Amino acid sequence: MPHPGEQFYPEGVCWDVPLPSGTLPDLLSQAVANYGSRPALEFRDRPIGFTELEERVEQAAAALLRAGYGKGSTIALFLGNSPDHPINFFGALKAGARLVHLSPLDGEIALSHKLTDSGARVLVTSNLAALLPMALKFVAKGLLDRLIVCEDDDWGAVGTPQAALPDDPRVVTFKQFVAGATSPHAWPAIDAEEVALLQYTGGTTGLPKGAMLSHRNLTSAVSIYDVWGAKARAERNTIERVICVLPLFHIYALTVILLRCLKYGDLISLHQRFDVNAVLRDIEVKRATAFPGVPTMWIALANDPTLESRDLSSLAAAGSGGAPLPVEVAKVFERKTGLTLKSGWGMTETCSPGTGHPPVGPDKPGSIGLMLPGIELDVVALDDPTRTLPPGEVGEIRIKGPNVTRGYWNRPQETAEAFVGDRFLTGDIGYMDPDGYFYLVDRKKDMIISGGFNVYPQMIEQAIYTHPAVHEVLVIGIADDYRGEAAKAFIALKPGAAPFTRDELRGFLTGKLGKHELPAALEFVDQLPRTAVGKLSRHELRTQQPATISAKICEHPRQHATGGRS
């Protein structure tokens, strides 16, 4: 076999199977042609059919073109999980623009950087109180020319706190923006190689960088999952009901749920936030068949005291991704439910696909699975990324495939450093066993993954430096049984400054950082370690002070991890 692990692939699947690709607007149009009035989404118990979705997408696209936001434009989405996301996501792409996702979990520093770096001068958001005030800050700072505000009540009033719009010509409701817009005689021609999405990630270290994901990258990613799951899908021969709690601004949910489900004609059950009871209701009452989640969700479900008495018989697929999954959590979940919970590995830079577990194959606890069709993975020496290593030897994982980014937006040097020829250096350290199964050991750089989200120490440090008592600070990741990792701040105070508590620091940082970025632990030191040239050294700090924080969230709190990152 030319590709390790291919002998364990599902029946009828080979590594070099053709992987069709195209553009995302064409993906949606074909789905509408195939499924028509079948429900594509369900939100607050309201179904939205494929035809209705396309009509709203074309209305948004026509309005963007009328306003001059077509080819060459970058449009930012600052939205949660509601139909407003797919409508504006596909609307912008149909208009020929490129997109950038802004995470509502980020703080003002990171969001401002992403807006400025991407060049987006148009932002689509919601009038939810959790979103609009932050978006208005970008208007006040002169970072936006136009703010388009979707109104949450359009999808049924549920009492969610909302914010009022100011009297500002730059701010307009979505209804006002699209009113009277008519479709053009011909939609803009889109090439599959064009950048569809700037998806920001730490990649390795430092400020977030925009991974350039083309239409071909994203549609190839869907095709990879297509061929991998074709046999199981044919055997089930049913319309799946897929729970979408994962945020659509994250590459995991975008590819694994939104794009895949639309292509298959499955129903996406949209949830605005993760709630154990709401998820269990979707399974028990509405008979959901699939639930992709991140480890924190599976930890919460595994520890729900009612889990063993719940009717989960409709659930055919349960998968974990986005961050390492503790093996013990998978064991507890399987013991309580009888469902096997496995995780794969992928990255923002790969549009999600990387590895996966076949339905039938060796039991490999702790493994992230086999390389998926069309994807080439190997392991190279840490001191020489051109030298491949044999099975069993630990090094850096490289990847090649039609789903892999061409590089980082406006970062030619960092793009060059991330590739060896046409193979992308993932920054993940691991090995491959003789059967072709991969295992992760560590990460090469400083990025922290907390609850499935990337956290960048430098961004936290910048915010902490605004505290008047802080002289110097370093932030590193520490083990956390619930989130996988959490941030710990080591602070040297200015002379004469009084120390403060962790909670006081978190209060000071609230608004400057996202909740997932707030330090979980704090330690004051007389001085921080430095390199030979005087730079503060996180590596030396980790060596000197191996810090841990633990919350007992499962029956066995040991952290044996599998999984991937995005």
- The reported pTM is 0.84
- Residue 222's pLDDT is 98
* Residue 413 backbone dihedrals phi, psi, to 5 degrees: -70, -45
Categorise residue 283: left if φ over 0, alpha if ψ from -120 to 50, beta otherwise: alpha
**For residue 257, pLDDT beyond 70:** yes
Out of 1-15, 34-48, 269-283, 524-538, pick the least confident.
524-538
Which residues, in sequence order, are bridge partners of residue 241? 267
With cut-offs at 50, 70 and 90, classify the pLDDT of residue 361: confident
Question: Residues 383, 388, 390, 392: is their CA dihedral positive or negative?
Answer: positive
Q: What is the pLDDT of residue 33?
A: 97
Which one of 3.40.605.10, 1.10.10.1100, 2.40.10.10, 3.40.50.12780 gives the CATH number of domain 216-445? 3.40.50.12780
Average model confidence (pLDDT) for the chain?
A: 90
> Does the fold of domain 216-445 match that of domain 24-38+46-190?
yes
pLDDT value for 320 = 86
pLDDT for the residue numbered 531: 59
Predicted pLDDT at 450: 86
Model confidence at 565: pLDDT above 60: no
Secondary structure element (H or E) that encloses residue 546, with its range: none
Query: Which pLDDT band holds residue 206 (cuts at 50, 70, 90)?
Result: low
- The top-scoring range by mean pLDDT among 57-61, 524-528, 547-551 is 57-61
Contact (Cβ atoms closer than 8 angstroms) between residue 448 and residue 477:
yes
pLDDT (tens digit per residue) in 293-316 = 988 788 889 888 999 999 999 999
Whole-angstrom distance, CA of residue 226 vs CA of residue 170: 42
> Going by C-beta distance under 8 Å and a sequence separation of 6 or more, which residues neighbour residue 503?
none
Q: Are 6 and 435 in contact (CB under 8 A)?
A: no
* Residue ranges per structural domain of the chain: 24-38+46-190, 216-445, 448-544
**CA angle 478–438–295, rounded 5-degree value:** 45
Is the confidence at residue 546, as pLDDT, over 70? no
- For residue 148, which of 161, 158, 138 has the smallest C-alpha distance? 138
Spatial contact of 70 and 116, defined as CB atoms under 8 Å apart: no
Span 103-120, pLDDT tens digits: 988 889 889 999 999 999
Query: If pLDDT is split at 50, 70 and 90, which confidence band does 252 have?
Result: very high
pLDDT tens for each residue of 82-100: 999 999 999 999 999 999 9
Q: What is the pLDDT of residue 554?
A: 28
Residue 428 — very low, low, confident or very high, per pLDDT cuts 50/70/90? confident
Pairing of strands 146-150, 171-173: parallel
Beta carbons of 316 and 560 less than 8 angstroms apart: no
Highest CATH level, class, for 24-38+46-190: alpha beta
For residues 71-76, average pLDDT: 97
Residue 414: pLDDT over 50? yes
What is the arithmetic mean of pLDDT over 25-47? 96
pLDDT band for position 208 (cuts 50, 70, 90): confident
Range in 238-252, 332-346, 535-549 the model is least confident about: 535-549
Name the helix (H) or strand (E) containing 280. Answer: helix 276-284
Place of tokens 């961050």: 323
Is it the case that residue 555 has pLDDT exceeding 50? no
Whether the pLDDT of residue 134 is over 50: the answer is yes
Q: What is the pLDDT, as a whole number, of residue 156?
A: 87
pLDDT of residue 566 exceeding 70 = no
pLDDT in tens, 323-360: 767 777 788 888 899 888 888 899 999 999 999 999 88
Mean pLDDT confidence for 505-534:
87
Task: Assess contact for 146 and 121: CB atoms under 8 A.
Answer: yes
Cβ(242)–Cβ(288) below 8 Å: yes
pLDDT at 451: 85
Mean pLDDT of 172-193: 96
CATH superfamily of 448-544: ANL, C-terminal domain (3.30.300.30)
Distance CA 111, CA 249 (A): 13
